[in-house]
C-alpha cells in the first residue's frame, strides 16, 4: 500500500463530501422489450471467457447506476445462454462503464470507459436450483461489484 492508499483509509471521506449520489436500478429482458441492450458488452464479456453469448435465446440483465457530479458508474449483470446451440447452459457476467459528463447537470456524456468486473462468468443450467447457488452467486456478485466500485472510487 502506498501513501495515497493509506491517506484514503485514514480520511474515509463519505461519498456525500464528493457530491450527492443519485442511484437507480433497472431490470431488462424480453418482457421489457430491452433484452437487446448491452449486446456488444455481453458479447465482449462472454468472449473474454472464451464463450459465445447466444442471443437467439432470452437475455436478462440487472443494471444499477450511481452518479456523483460529473461521473456515473453503470454496473450491469447479464444473464444469457452460452453456445451456438441451445444447451441449457447459462452464465452471468458483470461489466461496468464509467461515463463522464461536462457538468453535474449534463445529460450528454462526453467520455466512457468500459471494463469487465467478473474474472470468470458465473455458470449455471436450467436444472440449477437457486437455493443451491445462492451463497456462491452472492460471493461472485460481491467480488464483481467490488471491482466496479474500486474503479469508480479511483475516478472520483
Tell me the domain boundaries of the chain.
19-155
Q: Nearest CA to 97 among 77, 75, 79, 119? A: 75
Q: Nearest CA to 91 among 107, 99, 103, 79? A: 79
Q: What is the pLDDT of residue 154?
A: 84
User: Is the whole model's pTM more than 0.95, yes or no?
Assistant: no
Strand, coil or helix: 7: helix
Strand, coil or helix: 106: coil
CA 57 to chain centre: 21
What's the rounded Cα separation, in Å, for the pair 148 and 48? Answer: 17
Question: Which residues, listed in sequence order, are joined to residue 6 by a DSSP beta bridge?
Answer: none
**What does the DSSP 8-state code read for residue 69?**
T
Would you give per-residue pLDDT tens digits along the chain (156 residues)?
444 444 444 445 555 555 667 788 889 999 999 998 999 999 998 888 888 999 999 999 999 998 888 888 999 999 999 999 888 999 999 999 998 887 766 667 666 789 999 989 999 998 999 999 999 999 999 999 999 999 888 877
Q: What is the pLDDT of residue 131?
A: 92
Cell numbers found for residue 103: 457538468
Amino acid at each position: 500500500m502506498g501513501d495515497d492508499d493509506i491517506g484514503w483509509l485514514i480520511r474515509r471521506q463519505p461519498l456525500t463530501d464528493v457530491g450527492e449520489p443519485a442511484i437507480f436500478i433497472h431490470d431488462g429482458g424480453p418482457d421489457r422489450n430491452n433484452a437487446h441492450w448491452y449486446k456488444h458488452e455481453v458479447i465482449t464479456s462472454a468472449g473474454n471467457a472464451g464463450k459465445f453469448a447466444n442471443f437467439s435465446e432470452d437475455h436478462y440483465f440487472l443494471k444499477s447506476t450511481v452518479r456523483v457530479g460529473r461521473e456515473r458508474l453503470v454496473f450491469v449483470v447479464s444473464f444469457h445462454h452460452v453456445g451456438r446451440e441451445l444447451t441449457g447452459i447459462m452464465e452471468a457476467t458483470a461489466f461496468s462503464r464509467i461515463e463522464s459528463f461536462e457538468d453535474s447537470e449534463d445529460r450528454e456524456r462526453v467520455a466512457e470507459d468500459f471494463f469487465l468486473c467478473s474474472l470468470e462468468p458465473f455458470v449455471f443450467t436450467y436444472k440449477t436450483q437457486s437455493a443451491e447457488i445462492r451463497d456462491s452467486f452472492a460471493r461472485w456478485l460481491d467480488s464483481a461489484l467490488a471491482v466496479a466500485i474500486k474503479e469508480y472510487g479511483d475516478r472520483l
